[in-house]
Amino acid sequence: MNNIEFFVGDITKIKVDAIVNAANSSLLGGGGVDGAIHRAAGVRLLEECRRLGGCRTGEAKITNGYNLPAKYVIHTVGPIYSGAESDETDLYNCYYNSLLLAKENDVHSIAFPGISTGVYGYPKEAAAKIALRSITTWLSDNSGYDMKITIVNFSQHDYEIYQSVIGK
């Protein structure tokens, strides 16, 4: 867990190379963290997103960060929770593919929100387990690469869920 730290609060305030957006497949903005990122980044983010032509569930695309303190935004589309086995694979892939794309763009610090744990309804404890499994697997698969990961919990309650998962 050496390369992983936690931040409780608003992901749009963090100065890292890239923040990850829990987007929807249109990439044209929405509520929750997506809305907050678009508001903070400014309208140029939406203009760049329009040119990307959407994104599939589990995949990731990168844009500039514009008015954000972060240099880039990595947009990934989490699964809408249904209880199907594919939800787990899709969520795992969101974290893994975001990290792969980050590395391709020479990103060395990245912050993740709780992908799919808002409107998309993924149970938070299960989502935290998958996020940690994906991130730690990526770190060990890319052990020669320096990557600092921040997991952003929007509330103290979400932070406590993560800490209980780590403690188990």
Where on the chain is the footprint of ligand ADP (CB under 6 A)? Answer: 10-12, 22, 32-34, 36, 78, 113-120, 152, 154, 158
Angle between helices 85-104 and 124-141 (to 10 degrees): 40
Please tell me the distance from the alpha carbon of residue 134 to that of residue 111, in angstroms, as a whole number. Answer: 14
* CA angle in degrees (0–180, nearest 5) for 156-74-99: 85
Shortest Å, Cβ 82 to ligand ADP: 13
| Structure token pair of residue 17 | 């190379």
Distance CA 25, CA 156 (A): 29
Query: Taking the complex as a whole, how short is the minimal distance between the CB of residue 35 and ligand ADP, in angstroms?
Result: 7
Please tell me whether residue 31 adopts helix, strand or coil conformation.
coil
User: Residue 149: CB partners within 8 Å, gap ≥ 6?
Assistant: 3, 4, 5, 99, 109, 110, 111, 112, 135, 139
Least spacing, CB of residue 144 vs ligand ADP, in Å: 30
What is the closest distance, in whole angstroms, from the C-beta atom of residue 96 to ligand ADP in the complex? 16
User: How far apart are CB 117 and ligand ADP at their closest, in Å?
Assistant: 4
State the Cα–Cα distance between residues 53 and 130, nearest whole angstrom. 28
